[in-house]
Chains A and B, each alone.
Chain A
Amino acid sequence: MVSAMRGVLLQCDVPTKEFILSLNDSKPTNERFVILDLDDTRLFVQPTVVEWLEKRLKEFNEENTYQPPRREDMR
């Protein structure tokens, strides 16, 4: 019998994939979401974590970008 697992295919670039893998490693064993690591740019993950991943990715990108502070009125 074939047992099928439902998941989501993620396609991204190399650094993002590394980032997702690192997020995966940081979770305790029973909560890991990566089902299969296909190749350099594709991953097969559990469907439930997609939104959370998007949020974390956005945060990570914002950490790495600098927004110059709005110049307040100097008076």
Chain B
Amino acid sequence: MVKADPDGTAEDKPSLKIKLGGKDVSTAGKQGSGATKLKIKLPAAKPELIEPANNEDNEKPVKKEKRTRKRKAPSPDEYIPVGAEIEGIGADDIEELSENEDDYYKLGAEDNEFKDYASLKLKPDHANRPLWVCPDGRIFLETFSPVYRQAYDFLIAIAEPVCRPECVHEYVLTPHSLYAAVSIGLNTQTIITVLNRLSKVQLPPEISEFIQESTGNYGKVKLVLHRNKFWVESPFPDILRKLLKDDVIQKAHVAAPEGDGFTVTAGLTEQAAVDLTKEVEMAEVEEIADGSDPGPDPAAADPGLAAAEALAQAEHRERELHSFEIEPSQVEHVKARCLPGGLNYPMLEEYDFRNDTVNADLNIELKPHVQHRPYQEKSMAKMFGNGRARSGIIVLPCGAGKSLVGITAAARIKKSVLCLVTNSVSVDQWKHQFKLWTNLQDHQISRFTSDQKELFAGVSGVTITTYTMVSYSGRRSEESAKVMEEIASREWGLLLLDEVHVVPAQMFRKVIGIVKAHCKLGLTATLVREDERISDLNFLIGPKLYEANWLDLTRAGHIANVQCAEVWCPMTKEFYREYLKKDNAARRQLLYVMNPNKFQACQFLIQYHEQVRGDKIIVFSDNIFALREYAQRLRKPFIYGGTSHQERTRVLAAFKRSSEVSTVFLSKVGDNSIDIPEANVLIQISSHAGSRRQEAQRLGRILRAKKGKPGSQAADEFNAFFYTLVSKDTQEMYYSTKRQQFLIDQGYSFKVITNLLDAAGGANLQLSTRDEQLDVLAKVLAAGEEEAGVEVADVTDDVTRTKKALAQRTTGNMGALSGAHGLTYMEYGTSKAQKPRLTTKSGKTRHLLFRKHAQGKL
């Protein structure tokens, strides 16, 4: 509650008396620091208005409350609560600003979101700490704080990033993220202590409870494949006893030869966890040593530090691990039983590859010139933290070197590797990468696609194949079946999954069951899907081990600095009229893509970048009709599903090397498969219904780090550009904003350009006369249904089709069909006709008579 001083002293001083959680805390001294630390991005006028308004309008707020929309906030609106969420300014807020200009401004103005955290206790030295922790699990991190580095590393290990723009990051604590934290070795107490230490407010009790509740049972039990036997391992023998009381596990248990006790082994400590906590402590010590805030805290911190040291020492000793063995065939059941639905002790899976003597070693070494970047090393540290290999997912931006991370993991484990990718072009690329970074020879790397069905010579090696090849459930050709048999029966050391976000799809999940691998590593840049199945990856593969920050990588120069822009093109009158007509519903997409203004914008951008800057440009379009129209009118080469392989290679080679071909038009096939490092500019003229992942993948085409131009390269200079051309007032606006969400969460901001063609002036752009436009319109309306739609990407090129076509054409005459030619009936076998079976589907043997029929004796 703000109490404006009735005797008017408040009018002189700019200070306010603010009641926080029941106590009056004068903020006179701290007003300045408080406001700056909150970093409120307001339109310039507002901050000055808040203070005078507080002092003068004492009665007004009451009236204003009735006038404005219903607000659930219990407190009056004149001040900014200390723990308030720092929401962006929405369109609603701006309207409201203009309505009630002269009194107050509310942050995060939507009704049900304005949460009042004034009850959180602020620590006296809050200025030194980087985190706001809110009772609903949200955490806000200030990037300008001196301990940002360490706090970021810690937070990324325990929480999910929601949005990471430049100044303030938002994270949220979820059960999955805590599971991931535990799996790399942080325990409950450590998490709570460090979080408390980094937080500006006292840790709310709900948060401590939530962390304890979630992590209570995680990470206590591990499933380890050791000396080719499966062991259930834990540092706590009483948990093991509890597990053994359960039926399913009892059945799977193989009694140890030396009697009833558990086998006890020593284990190495979790190095990654210790490092994280140590870093935070070191940073803290520096902070306090700077003398930035002399308060009671340094004294309190010292015993805290000492205690932490002792803890670290204790962890350095080896821990004792108890374990019991289980049957290999029962492993799946045991794992399923321990999930939160059953016993609620989810098992971590680790692979002790150093002591694995049964699987043949693969002599794979990284080449000596290989240098890892810091984020690559960090992700490896998370994976191999305690000397064993953990299964999980690593998320790195496109072009940041994911292949190298996968190959490094393979080189560490030194066992056979099975690599699964999305399409056959990627298969070739991965093989090339393996040969580039390691000392493997051609005969040790085999590719399994519809074109090549190889298998490596020798007992161990690397096989690269596609998801479709492995999960195909129909009949295979002879060679295919042989290779598949080999893949399914072998014990793989590492299963590398590229673009792992496709795995939760119904078709590809089976892969996890078919292939038997000790360690699974998933790699992707975009861990999002438009359905809700992305969380299934936690149980299919493992927790997220590491996620890199796109902006940080950009600043460090590992990926290109991209300027994202949205260009708004108004629709012409005729096109818009057709768009609005109901009977053109199917052609809507075609209409807003073929918008003449958009065409002109595209032409202008291409001319500008080609001639003025000399960049290489890729233009993406999902819609084939549009692709061909644009490319033919602008006289540029284009590639789509129907282009032959030869033509594709020719065009791409010309694009890479010759300076004449600087622009190429691509359809959906270019999304994943083609690797074009030298493109600088990406123009998107049509897109598929709002898929965030697709937008990010396309951006990845140009994210590879650019070599600097011969001139200077300022830190802020952009060297890559991403344009999305959008037709105003159509559905495209909606889809475009939706697609951008992922990139916005990573920190990219989209500039909006509304008047591109004003600068076009003298350039003679096509489609400027009404006649030409009407021509195009007529063409569009005449286009058939399928042309008007989106291209269906040719994903079936990886799988050999042995099925016959569903419909067959033969010539004949009607008479033959009704028996006029003496043919009354004919028997033939179809695949639907079942052979007579010896057992029923459920396995019971059939009646004697049926069995005899099956054997042909009847």
Contact = CB atoms under 8 A, between A and B. Distances in A.
B581 interface: yes
A18 B727 CA distance: 15
A64 B733 contact: yes
A5 B5 CA distance: 62
B729 A64 contact: yes
B580 interface: yes
Contacts of A28: none
B573 A18 contact: yes
Contact of B731 (A22, A64, A70): A64
B733 A14 contact: no
B661 interface: no
Interface string B100-115: 0000000000100100
B743 to A, nearest CB: 12
A21 interface: yes
Interface residues of A, number: 19
B729 A66 contact: no
Given A63-B734, A64-B731, A65-B737, A71 B577 contact: no
Interface string B153-178: 00000001010000000001011000
Nearest to A72: B136
B749 interface: no
Contacts of A21: 577
A70 B110 contact: yes
A75 B580 CA distance: 43
A26 B737 contact: no
Of residues B136, B172, B580, which shows the largest number of chain A Cβ atoms within 10 Å of its Cβ? B580
B729 A15 contact: yes
Contacts of A68: 737-738, 741
Contacts of B136: 73, 75
B729 A75 contact: no
Interface string A15-55: 11011011000100000000000001000000000000000
B137 A14 contact: no
Contact of A18 (B110, B577, B736): B577
A25 B660 CA distance: 50
A75 B173 CA distance: 8
A22 B577 contact: yes
A14 B172 contact: no
A64 B581 CA distance: 16
B218 to A, nearest CB: 15
B117 interface: no
Nearest to B730: A64
A1 interface: no
B580 A19 contact: yes
Interface string B684-702: 0000001000000000000
A64 B734 contact: yes
- Cβ-closest 9 pairs across A and B: A66-B737, A22-B580, A15-B729, A66-B734, A18-B576, A66-B738, A74-B174, A64-B733, A73-B136
Given A64-B733, A74-B137, A74-B172, 5 more contacts: A18-B573, A63-B731, A63-B734, A65-B734, A70-B113
Interface of B: 110, 113, 136-137, 160, 162, 172, 174-175, 210, 570-571, 573, 576-577, 580-582, 690, 728-731, 733-738, 741
